[in-house]
């Protein structure tokens, strides 16, 4: 009887890190074509020239971030003349904060904390890069977080036209967007220099999902923890969700659920119960990046499902005391990161009324905001 029960000091996990969403797999399968496309764009930089800009497109959970990190690791192993900087735009979504990260990468430490201006950071970065003869390669992950207030135009203009004010500066950009296509219209001065090579990351098919999740299970669980039938169930749910991250998180949660029952094996019930949390992993991660007033707008929008911007602002102002300018910024950001849709109509006291619709089930949204 004891053999079927997990003792308190025992665990089902051989390596828990395997099931973390930011885990970098040693073997990056089923993305050879995309990696070759990225290497084509980077090749000129390895020879001291400006790289080809790239735009990585595809739904969440299709390997875009992993591909960039793998590429950057390879660059740093083989070249001292290319300085790759990865920026998560969920966390750093202003021109200043992005150049702050580039400065840290280039110099190995943060810039002075005593209110150094953007102009000064920009000049020091570009002058140092030019003097050292290095090529700057900047990856902007979750690129859409820069779309609100057209911050993306300021960022790309500063990066890609740096050579005009600092001769010898060579910079390339890899933009990563979790959408099938780029809908943003750049400032003409930016569009003329960005001209990115598009690299598409399609959804993994069912066989690829099965291969990846099977590999993770073998590395992350002890033998016998998950049966082939249960793994097939996880693969099926992941394929239906269209996001590999759902499957990785589902394996982790199911393992924890089995441990909670002191069971040595994962059951159908463990998977079914865990799927309720795992299936909206994208929403969960998007909400983590939002500030309190942004969550307040989202919660108000979820409570009414569909509403006019003016009505929403009245409630937002009553709760937070913030003005319409901040409210407008928040709407643009939530629309840019695909949590809401905003459409203009001909009604409204100013001639155009903005209709706000959330993109998820309102109860799910409120549950995760409040949870």
The CATH number assigned to the domain with range 2-20+204-283 reads 1.10.8.60
Domains in the chain: boundaries: 2-20+204-283, 32-200, 290-370
The contacts of residue 329 (CB under 8 Å, 6+ apart) are 148, 149
- Any alpha helices (H) in the chain, and if so which ranges? 32-46, 64-78, 95-107, 118-132, 151-160, 162-165, 188-194, 206-220, 228-241, 244-260, 268-278, 281-288, 292-304, 309-320, 324-336, 362-370
Measured at the CA of 122, the angle between CA 95 and CA 161, to 5 degrees, comes to 80
CATH 3.30.720.200 fits 32-200, yes or no: no
Instruction: Return the exposure string of 85-109: e unless at least 16 CB atoms fall within 10 Å of the residue's CB, then b.
Output: bbbbbbebbbbeebbbbbbeebeee
Give DSSP secondary structure letters for 216-227.
HHHHHB-TTSS-
Mind listing the pLDDT tens digit of every residue in the chain (371 residues)?
A: 446 788 888 999 999 999 999 999 999 999 999 999 999 999 999 999 999 999 999 988 899 999 999 999 999 999 889 999 999 998 899 999 999 999 999 999 999 877 789 999 999 999 999 999 999 999 999 999 999 778 999 999 999 999 999 999 999 999 999 888 898 999 999 999 999 999 999 999 999 999 999 999 999 999 999 999 999 999 999 999 889 999 999 999 999 999 999 999 999 999 999 998 899 888 887 888 788 999 999 999 999 867 889 999 999 999 999 999 899 889 988 887 778 888 765 444 444 578 899 888 888 889 888 87
The contacts of residue 73 (CB under 8 Å, 6+ apart) are none
**Annotation: CATH topology of 290-370:** Arc Repressor Mutant, subunit A (1.10.10)
| φ, ψ (nearest 5 deg) of residue 166 | -135, 85
């Amino acid at each position: 009887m004891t053999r079927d029960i997990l003792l308190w000091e025992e665990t089902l996990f051989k390596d828990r890190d395997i099931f973390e969403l930011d885990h970098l797999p040693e073997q990056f399968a089923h993305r050879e074509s995309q990696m070759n496309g990225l290497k084509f764009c980077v090749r000129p930089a390895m020879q001291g020239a400006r790289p080809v800009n790239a735009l990585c497109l595809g739904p969440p959970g299709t390997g875009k971030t992993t591909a960039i990190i793998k590429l950057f690791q390879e660059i740093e192993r083989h070249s001292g003349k290319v300085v790759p900087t990865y920026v998560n735009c969920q966390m750093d979504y202003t021109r200043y904060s992005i150049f702050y990260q580039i400065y840290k990468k280039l110099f190995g430490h943060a810039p002075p904390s005593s209110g150094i201006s953007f102009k000064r950071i920009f000049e020091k970065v570009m002058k140092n890069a030019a003097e050292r003869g290095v090529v700057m390669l900047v990856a902007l992950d979750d690129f859409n977080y820069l779309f609100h207030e057209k911050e993306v135009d300021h960022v790309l203009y500063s990066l890609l036209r740096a050579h005009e004010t600092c001769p010898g500066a060579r910079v390339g950009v890899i933009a990563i967007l979790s959408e099938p296509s780029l809908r943003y219209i750049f400032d003409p001065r930016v569009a003329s220099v960005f001209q990115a090579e598009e690299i598409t990351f399609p959804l993994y098919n069912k066989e690829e999902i099965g291969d990846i999740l099977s590999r993770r299970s073998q590395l992350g669980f002890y033998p016998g923890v998950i049966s082939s039938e249960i793994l097939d169930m996880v693969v099926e749910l992941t394929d239906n969700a269209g996001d590999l991250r759902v499957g990785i998180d589902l394996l982790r949660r199911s393992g924890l659920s089995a441990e909670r029952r002191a069971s040595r094996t994962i059951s159908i019930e463990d998977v079914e119960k865990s799927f309720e949390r795992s299936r909206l992993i994208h929403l969960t991660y998007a909400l983590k990046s939002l500030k309190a007033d942004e969550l307040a707008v989202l919660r108000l929008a979820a409570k009414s499902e569909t509403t006019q911007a003016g009505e929403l602002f009245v409630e937002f102002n009553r709760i937070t005391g913030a003005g319409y300018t901040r409210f407008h910024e928040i709407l643009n950001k939530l629309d840019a990161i695909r949590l809401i849709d905003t459409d203009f109509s001909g009604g409204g006291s100013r001639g155009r009324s903005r209709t706000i619709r959330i993109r998820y089930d309102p109860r799910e949204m409120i549950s995760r905001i409040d949870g």
